[in-house]
């Protein structure tokens, strides 16, 4: 740990600006957990969590495909060396330009009946017969209750009545389904029940709709423990053991690629956000640590504080991924030598807005101007969600530390 902290301090001395630092060793450890405990599945790296090229390249080198949420993410995956069949492009609202750009570079997952027509027409114009997937909004929710309205996919109960439409799609063939209901799940039994229901939906699509399924994309949902005090890590081993039994039971009914999207699982804990304390001030009994690029460097902690300020202290805030997970989702550390007494402080930034508050009334070691502040869980939904251009400040750097210690910018 000391070596890595020394690296951070040296990098701050060298560049004198905030930066994200990503640890390849942590990503590799997470990759091994998935591939060893859920070996029956293949995995797609969710590029939207962190599209930084060294991260994408490393994960692809480990045999993972890509979960692309935009046409540009399809191109990112292609540049990383992935073939068409290893890139699954799923998002609502694809335009004609999006489809034309990616038709021969990915497996497109249609998100609506209108989109099915659009893909078919483009394929017909090009004289192609294209295999695609269809996103389905199932008739159940993550708690196995009744299905809810969603902007994603087509409602399961509408499929049978659209058989004539499917027959008229002359230039596309549905060979896969995609379902995703919720992210950041830590209960293995909830994930297992969900996988079981998706399997049953796939069997229905094969037997009742007549689709020759080549893949079942179960979506994401595999969560990570943000809070050491409040979160119990997902038991991936038990999930894998139950899935082995499930797959053995259903393998005679359906033989297809079984796909899971990784979401934040691979990269969240591999990243840290680093900034410097540039001022310390007191106002009516409260102490503030002023850092460079707070809200405009790493947005999510500020969102947590903003939401908390509008809710009673006794309320339990519901997650709204990927913007908000939990109030205590991030750990703040001051990099100092030796021991120091603790004090209650708030961490704020250098923007001209009161919303620029990373943490309010937390206990930290007594700090001095010039000390370095480190924030955890900054590997996913961090740089890309942050308004780095706000107030025209210099954006943070991104730095990748390979397992051999090599530093990549």
In contact, 184 and 264? CB cutoff 8 Å = yes
Bridge-based pairing of strands 215-217 and 257-261 is: parallel
236-250 and 188-207 helices cross at what angle (nearest 10)? 20
Integer Cα distance of 332 and 375 in angstroms: 5
Place of tokens 């934040």: 264
Is 268 marked active-site? no
Catalytic residue among 84, 205, 243, 352, which?
Answer: 352
User: What are 393's two structure tokens?
Assistant: 């400040």
Integer Cα distance of 107 and 388 in angstroms: 32
Helix (DSSP H) and strand (DSSP E) numbers for the chain: 10, 18
Integer Cα distance of 174 and 145 in angstroms: 28
Please report the DSSP string for 247-288 in residue order: HHHHTTT---EEEEE-TTTTTGGGEEEEEEEEEEEEETTEEE
Residues classed as catalytic: 352
């Amino acid at each position: 740990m000391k070596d890595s902290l020394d690296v951070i301090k040296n990098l701050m001395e060298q560049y004198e600006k905030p930066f994200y630092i990503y640890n390849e060793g942590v990503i590799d450890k997470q990759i091994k957990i998935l591939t060893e405990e859920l070996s029956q599945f293949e995995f797609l790296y969710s590029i939207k969590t962190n599209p930084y090229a060294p991260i994408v390249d490393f994960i692809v080198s480990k045999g993972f495909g890509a979960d692309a949420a935009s046409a540009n993410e399809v191109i990112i995956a292609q540049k990383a060396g992935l073939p068409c069949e290893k890139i699954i492009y799923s998002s609502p609202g694809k335009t004609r330009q999006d489809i034309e750009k990616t038709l021969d570079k990915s497996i497109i997952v249609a998100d609506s009946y209108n989109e099915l027509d659009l893909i078919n027409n483009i394929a017909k114009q090009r004289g192609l017969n294209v295999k695609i997937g269809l996103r389905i909004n199932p008739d159940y929710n993550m708690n196995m209750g009744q299905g809810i309205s969603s902007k994603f996919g087509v409602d399961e109960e509408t499929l049978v009545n659209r058989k004539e439409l499917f027959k008229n799609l002359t230039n596309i063939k549905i060979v896969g389904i995609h379902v995703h209901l919720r992210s950041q799940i830590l209960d293995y039994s909830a994930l297992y029940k969900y996988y079981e229901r998706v399997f049953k939906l796939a069997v229905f699509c094969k037997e009742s709709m007549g689709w020759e399924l080549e893949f079942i994309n179960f979506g994401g949902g595999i969560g990570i423990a943000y809070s050491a005090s409040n979160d119990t890590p997902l038991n991936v081993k038990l999930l894998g053991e139950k899935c082995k039994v499930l797959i053995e039971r259903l393998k005679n009914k359906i033989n297809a690629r079984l796909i899971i999207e990784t979401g934040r699982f691979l990269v969240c804990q591999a990243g840290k956000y680093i900034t410097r304390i540039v001022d310390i001030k007191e106002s009516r009994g409260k102490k503030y640590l002023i850092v460079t690029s707070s809200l405009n460097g790493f947005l999510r902690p500020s969102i947590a504080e903003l939401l908390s300020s509008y809710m009673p202290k006794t309320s339990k805030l519901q997650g709204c991924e990927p913007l908000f997970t939990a109030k205590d989702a991030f750990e703040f550390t001051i990099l100092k030598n030796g021991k120091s007494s603790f004090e209650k402080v708030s961490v704020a930034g250098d923007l001209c807005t009161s919303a620029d508050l990373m943490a309010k009334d937390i206990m930290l070691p007594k700090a001095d101007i010039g000390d370095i502040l480190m924030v955890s869980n900054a590997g996913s939904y961090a740089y890309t969600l942050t308004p780095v251009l706000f107030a025209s400040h210099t954006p943070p750097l991104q730095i990748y530390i390979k397992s051999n210690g090599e530093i990549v910018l």
